Structure 1
Amino acid sequence: MVWFREVEYLRGFAALAVIAVHVSMNFNRIPEVNLLALVNVFVYVAAHFAVPVFVFISGWVLAARYFGDYSLWEFYRRRAKTILLPYLFFTALYLMVTVEGTIGFAGVPAPGRVVEALLLGTAAYHLWFFVLIIQLYLVFPLIARGYDRFDRGGAALFLLLALLFVQILWNAGAHLAGAFAGTEWYTVLIRLFPSHLLYFVLGIHAARHTERCGSALRSLPAAWVITAAGAGALLIGSMWASAVLRYGSISGATLAVFCIYRILEPFYYVPAIAALVLAAWRLEERGGRPAGALRSFGEHSYGIYLVHPLFIAAVAGLWASLTGLSWADWETYPAVFAAAVLASYTVVRVLSGVPYAGWLLGGSRVRRRPLQ
């Protein structure tokens, strides 16, 4: 398999964004809508490119590894080894340990709660991603085969454009179903793989046409790509900050706001992915400690994703006891973010050297060679 070092940087960016999302989401613990709340709403929404980046990477890496004839048994065996045991273990852990705001013990869950958590990834706020990625792993052989058929017919870009519309309709439809048929419909539909299928197939496309995609991206002025991504972040972040200012919370926004957001989000996330690839190239060319640190963070991003809510909650509790400051104070957010990043990385890196710890934390991503 050809391995692209750019992937490690992208994982690093995405892991940092995930932690930023899960720190900033505590704006809902601020008693009133003030400037601090609005700033964190903006960060919370703008950093949501993290999951699309992870999904894009998954499509890219799988398509680079599995092409042509390969054993389906071996494919599913490797995917199960990578994801099932960590998902089961951390679902059990987060069912008993609460990480909402501060850390605490939740007690022994009821059987119904266990089943719900396994099916929907609701044991903790971040585990829904595993429900999504398991589905994408299951259908990857079919998706890749379908993509290759379109690609051989010269219609790969048409497929991507069609998926853009399908994904927008699916996600907007999830909000409509939640509004008119019950919130449980939204909870289920937004976790099904069509909600992120565009980014997954875009990753497959990048793997199948690496040189062509790289040349096309390099031909664009970097300022244009960065401006497009920045404008998308500014538009979506400002839209939600305005909605919170108007309605008092994200959940209180009208159905129209949610649907407009679902229409706009791909036009932010795709340029954001392109901008991060450019940043990865620049870091790889320059090297140095910042590049090495981000690459190492990306190598351990799987384990960091799994454990970081524990450290956010634990650090928040410790911070409050030492300083008397809460989520309603400006200092809390950067302090908790920095401490959670450092603690998550340190613990995962140390544990990566422990025999069999990789079965639970996914192990580190091994570096091979850069994209030419």
Structure 2
Amino acid sequence: MEKTLEKSKGKFFEEIHFLRAFACIGVVLVHLSASYYNQHDQTYNWLTFALNQLGRFGTPTFALISGFLLFHQVKAKGFDFHRFLKSRFTKIVMPFVIWSIFYLLIKVFVLKATLPTGSDFIESVLTGASFYHLYFMVIVIQFYFIFPLLQSIRTKRSWMIALVFSLITSAFFINLSHFMSVKEGLGAILSNRVFIFTWIFYFIFGGFLAYYWRSITKLITSQTKLVLLVVAVYILAIYEYKVMGSIPSNRMTNLINIPLLSMAVIGLFPVIQNRRILYKPLKLIGTLSMGIYLVHPLVLLFLNQILPHTAWATRGLPIMYVVVMLLSIGIVQAIRKLSFVQYIIPVPRMQNK
């Protein structure tokens, strides 16, 4: 662990790549398992339902990572408003616009859906409804609007206040239906899954982790306890969906689960680092995670279009998962060769050897 801590003095946190990989694996698992949903019976089988629910740790973990990277950049370099706007517009806003248009065209020409017009078109894009996975980018963009204010959180006291306030805020908006009608009007807007305050705690916790990285990671010493922690969280998650049924990513228990799982994954990094069979593929997935996030629904749609119904037997799910990942990585690697890749996917451009 000490070796890992020394690396964190620089600008690059390799552990975050593996946290990204954890998040990416979960998101792809949610969407792949949805392909095994029985439309006739309106049910999953027990395994695909379990994987679908357990994969829902992925999206809030991505939110935590987004907060971590932004706050760490401010801590390391200070805050330059002009540079911030330019960077975020290039790396997130432009890819969001491009993929929103792309997936809308896919829905119209491949899925034969009706293209929304006028205000419906604007609402579809602004809420990330162009395709089922783009809502997360809307959440991140909203976070950018308030980040110029949040970046002023620097002291230990202000971080404690921000953590407590953001936790209360997220808990309130997750449970908004207990306080007001969420079917129409303002309640419907505030309860929409893309509304930033439902997710704000994850971004703030990511920033807290960035500011107090060394202090927090020094507390993460027992890898046996970390493994037991991960197992306990997943067992409780299984119990939760068994009792409550299907639960979205923005559930109350994730306000506890995500910080615990994130610190556990970070603490287990030295174990992964010493096992090349895990280290290399997870590092690749982590590096390309946002690209994989953007393209994997296209891969799933393609496979659903060309493969027979028998190919979607549950026993073949592990193989199908590998196929989806490999095809997604292949598409992202091809896009990385483009000189303007930064406008399409937020991953590093592939360097010519």
TM > 0.5 between the two?
Answer: yes
Paired residue secondary structure (2:194): coil
Supply the distance in 2 between the matched residues of 1:222 and 1:163 (Cα, whole angstroms). 29
1:362 partner amino acid = P
Q: Partner of 2:347 in structure 1?
A: 363
User: Number of aligned pairs?
Assistant: 338
2:231 partner amino acid = G
Supply the distance in 2 between the matched residues of 1:174 and 1:66 (Cα, whole angstroms). 36
Unpaired runs of at least 5, structure 1: 245-249, 251-256, 367-372
Q: Partner of 2:338 in structure 1?
A: 354
Supply the distance in 1 between the matched residues of 2:203 and 2:175 (Cα, whole angstroms). 19
Q: Partner of 2:52 in structure 1?
A: 44
Unpaired runs of at least 5, structure 2: 1-9
Q: Partner of 2:328 in structure 1?
A: 344
1:268 aligns with 2:257: yes
Paired residue secondary structure (2:284): helix
Q: How does 1:303-322 map to 2 (within 5 A)?
A: 303-320=291-308
More moved, 330-339 vs 344-353: 330-339
TM-superposed CA distance for 1:7, in Å, is 1.3
1:235 aligns with 2:236: yes
Supply the RMSD in Å over aligned alpha carbons.
Answer: 2.8
Tell me which stretches of 4 or more aligned residues in structure 1 moved more than 6 Å.
none
Q: TM-score, normalised by structure 1?
A: 0.81
TM-superposed CA distance for 1:365, in Å, is 8.2
Supply the distance in 2 between the matched residues of 1:39 and 1:21 (Cα, whole angstroms). 12
TM-superposed CA distance for 1:319, in Å, is 2.4
Supply the distance in 2 between the matched residues of 1:3 and 1:343 (Cα, whole angstroms). 28
Supply the distance in 2 between the matched residues of 1:49 and 1:116 (Cα, whole angstroms). 27
Q: Partner of 2:3 in structure 1?
A: none
Q: TM-score, normalised by structure 2?
A: 0.85
Q: How does 1:209-248 map to 2 (within 5 A)?
A: 209-218=212-221, 221-244=222-245
2:145 alignment partner, one of 138, 142, 147 = 138
1:14 partner amino acid = A
1:278 aligns with 2:267: yes
Q: Partner of 2:154 in structure 1?
A: 148
1:73 alignment partner, one of 76, 82, 99 = 82
TM-superposed CA distance for 1:97, in Å, is 1.2
Paired residue secondary structure (2:340): coil
Structure 2 contact 173–190 (Cα < 8 Å) conserved: no
The change in CA–CA distance for 1:16 and 1:69 in structure 2 (over 3 A counts) is closer
The change in CA–CA distance for 1:279 and 1:118 in structure 2 (over 3 A counts) is same
**CA offsets 1:32-74 (integer angstroms, 9 cap, x no match):** 377x523222211211111121111111111121237432011
2:174 alignment partner, one of 167, 171, 175 = 171
1:191 aligns with 2:194: yes
Supply the distance in 2 between the matched residues of 1:303 and 1:224 (Cα, whole angstroms). 33
The change in CA–CA distance for 1:349 and 1:174 in structure 2 (over 3 A counts) is farther
Structure 1 contact 59–201 (Cα < 8 Å) conserved: yes
2:81 partner amino acid = L
**CA offsets 1:199-232 (integer angstroms, 9 cap, x no match):** 11111111111211110222xx333333333323
User: Percent identity at matched positions?
Assistant: 20
